[in-house]
Amino acid sequence: MNAAAEPRPVPDDETAGGETTAADGRRRQARGRTTRRKLIGAAVESLAERGWHATTMLEVAERAGVSRGAAQHHFPTRESLVVAAVEQLGEEQITELRRRADELPPGRARTPAVAEMLLDLYTGVKFRAALDLWVAASHDAGLREVLVPLQARVGREAHRVAVELLGADETRPGVREAVQATLDLARGLGLANLLTDDAPRRAQIVRQWARMLDAAV
Amino acid sequence: MNAAAEPRPVPDDETAGGETTAADGRRRQARGRTTRRKLIGAAVESLAERGWHATTMLEVAERAGVSRGAAQHHFPTRESLVVAAVEQLGEEQITELRRRADELPPGRARTPAVAEMLLDLYTGVKFRAALDLWVAASHDAGLREVLVPLQARVGREAHRVAVELLGADETRPGVREAVQATLDLARGLGLANLLTDDAPRRAQIVRQWARMLDAAV
């Protein structure tokens, strides 16, 4: 990959010259948002498929079909790009959970359904992308510095949604920890699913976990 | 790092020429075992500190204070070295668990003590090394091929010891899954401990988990 210095090209979505009208400005902003979204999507894809080491700005720009200059205009560093990617992954996860919350059955069937939702949470390509970043950050102080506060924020948000979904009363002793354990277990199951399809084993754990959670929450 | 072809040097521990006596043979074998042990230790260290990408045979040989030729005599490929390293990590883990089993308190205090032992299992540098390999294997079919059967074997062994420690009766419904969930939770907690010290939060989860496990097992 050619990392040699080159004159910084004018970004694709910032080519307006001279006076601009309000409509021009809005169009430019919309193009900018589209470019950002493409870059974030390409970064997640590259992280999941090829890992942090291979996820260079050039690789991401090419996947996104965006010039390198435009990519660097939006994200001056790889770190700034992955921060945006992790934020988006976290938001998508929360949105998806809330969407599925509307489909949950009432009564006794609710806890097993929530357990399944939560314990399946980290079994996909997005978790693989995030995991790759975590591990890279364990060898890279710069990446760690941006990821740690982000991870804490995304984790708190996931916890809040899990409490809502379970209808759990966290003022009762042990309930908060049982919900936390559910999310930690979910990440452990995500790890177990990384190299092989662990779905059959996981389904049995989900059933048992739902019983234990029902008794605890 | 220089990966150019070079004549393969005579390994350090195989320099005997001409006729050898039985004593020479034993000495050579002992030296060979020491070299292997050094290389495995250096590989684990390098994986934990710098990751799979930086863990070249040259890096490991230098850390171990062994010539590159001797390293390649014992482990012709990086893959064969990490297989040996993962096997050793697994064995050390089991040995450590059995050793600590003798110190467990009897009666009602046993389950919390076992829960703590198991949930602390993946919070150290060895888990970091294994995790790095898992993630690298998710992008590398050759590494995946050697790690998947190994991971299954090490996982089964850890499960067997967990059952023993808990004195769990796996013929009762749900008990097997509760023990599996304990080890998956332990790996999830290992992940949560990767970038920050998660010990205070983990201690509270351990307490609650011991209660849930006691009721289930």
Q: What is the pLDDT of residue A3?
A: 42
Cα(A150)–Cα(A147) distance, integer angstroms: 5
Per-window interface: B 17-46 vs A, CB < 8 A: none
- B187 and A CB contact within 8 Å: yes
Q: What is the pLDDT of residue A20?
A: 66
Asked if A192's CB is within 8 angstroms of B184's CB, the reply is yes
Q: What is the pLDDT of residue B1?
A: 40
DSSP-based three-state secondary structure for A104: coil
Closest residue, chain B, to A140 (C-alpha): B50
- A215 and B CB contact within 8 Å: yes
Q: What is the pLDDT of residue A89?
A: 86
Q: What is the pLDDT of residue B193?
A: 95
* Contacts A139 to B, Cβ<8 Å: 49-51, 54
Tokens describing residue B179 = 């023990």
Q: What is the pLDDT of residue A35?
A: 94
Q: What is the pLDDT of residue A107?
A: 84
Mean pLDDT of B201-208: 96
Question: How far does A68 lie from chain B, in Å, by closest CA?
Answer: 25
Asked whether residue B37 carries a pLDDT value surpassing 90, the answer given is yes
Cα(B82)–Cα(B47) distance, integer angstroms: 9
Taking only Cα atoms into account, the Rg of chain A, rounded to an integer number of angstroms, comes to 21
Per-window interface: A 112-151 vs B, CB < 8 A: 128, 131-132, 134-139, 144, 147-148, 151
Asked whether residue A9 carries a pLDDT value surpassing 60, the answer given is no
Asked whether residue B75 carries a pLDDT value surpassing 90, the answer given is yes
Measured between alpha carbons, how far is residue B70 from residues B13, B35, B62 in Å? 7, 8, 11
> How confident is the prediction for chain B on average, in pLDDT?
88
Q: Are B78 and B133 contacting, i.e. CB atoms less than 8 angstroms apart?
A: no
Greater model confidence, A140 or A11: A140
- A77 and B CB contact within 8 Å: no
Q: What is the pLDDT of residue B19?
A: 60
pLDDT in tens, A83-97: 899 888 888 888 988
Residues for chain A: how many in total? 217
CB atoms within 10 A of CB B65: 11
Confidence at B5, pLDDT banded by 50, 70, 90 = very low
Mean pLDDT of A169-181: 95
Q: What is the pLDDT of residue B57?
A: 95
Cα(B168)–Cα(B216) distance, integer angstroms: 10
Q: What is the pLDDT of residue B4?
A: 43
Cα(A56)–Cα(A43) distance, integer angstroms: 9
> Residue-wise over B136-166: b if at least 16 C-beta within 10 A, else e?
bbbbeeebbebbeeebeebbeebbebbbebb
pLDDT in tens, B121-162: 999 888 988 999 999 999 899 999 999 999 899 899 999 999
Closest C-alpha among B127, B176, B136 to residue B154: B127
Confidence at A100, pLDDT banded by 50, 70, 90 = confident
Cα(B63)–Cα(A21) distance, integer angstroms: 63
Asked if B136's CB is within 8 angstroms of A195's CB, the reply is no
Asked if A194's CB is within 8 angstroms of B191's CB, the reply is no
Confidence at B3, pLDDT banded by 50, 70, 90 = very low
Confidence at B10, pLDDT banded by 50, 70, 90 = very low
Mean pLDDT of B166-188: 95
Question: How far does A202 lie from chain B, in Å, by closest CA?
Answer: 9
- The torsion region of residue B9 among left (phi > 0), alpha (psi -120 to 50) and beta comes to beta
Mutation test of the interface with chain B: which of A45, A195, A201, choosing the one with the most B Cβ atoms within 10 A?
A: A195
pLDDT in tens, A34-80: 999 999 999 999 988 888 889 999 999 999 999 999 999 999 999 99
Confidence at B175, pLDDT banded by 50, 70, 90 = very high
- B53 and A CB contact within 8 Å: yes
- A204 and B CB contact within 8 Å: yes
Cα(B113)–Cα(B21) distance, integer angstroms: 52
Asked if A132's CB is within 8 angstroms of B135's CB, the reply is yes
The CATH number for A20-74, chosen from 3.40.50.11270, 1.10.10.60, 3.30.420.40, 3.90.1150.10, is 1.10.10.60
Greater model confidence, B19 or A27: A27
> How confident is the prediction for chain A on average, in pLDDT?
88
Q: Between A and B, how many CB-CB pairs are < 8 A? A: 132
- DSSP letters along chain B, please? --------PPPGGG---S---HHHHHHHHHHHHHHHHHHHHHHHHHHHHH-TTT--HHHHHHHHT--HHHHHHH-SSHHHHHHHHHHHHHHHHHHHHHHHHTT---GGGHHHHHHHHHHTTTSSHHHHHHHHHHHHHTT-HHHHHHHHHHHHHHHHHHHHHHHHHHT--TTSTTHHHHHHHHHHHHHHHHHHTSSS--HHHHHHHHHHHHHHHHHH-
| Burial of residue B2, with CB atoms counted within 10 A of its CB: 0-12 exposed, 13-18 middle, 19 or more buried | exposed
Asked if B139's CB is within 8 angstroms of A135's CB, the reply is no
Mean pLDDT of A191-202: 95
Every domain of chain A and the residues it spans: 20-74, 78-216
Q: What are the residues whose beta carbons fall under 8 Å from the beta carbon of A14, sequence distance 6 or more?
A: A28, A32, A70, A73
Confidence at A5, pLDDT banded by 50, 70, 90 = very low
Tokens describing residue A65 = 């079909």
Cα(A82)–Cα(A38) distance, integer angstroms: 13
Asked whether residue A11 carries a pLDDT value surpassing 90, the answer given is no
Residues for chain B: how many in total? 217
pLDDT in tens, B76-107: 999 999 989 988 888 888 898 888 888 899 88
Domain B22-74 has CATH 3.40.50.10260: no
Asked whether residue B200 carries a pLDDT value surpassing 50, the answer given is yes
> The complex's ipTM?
0.84
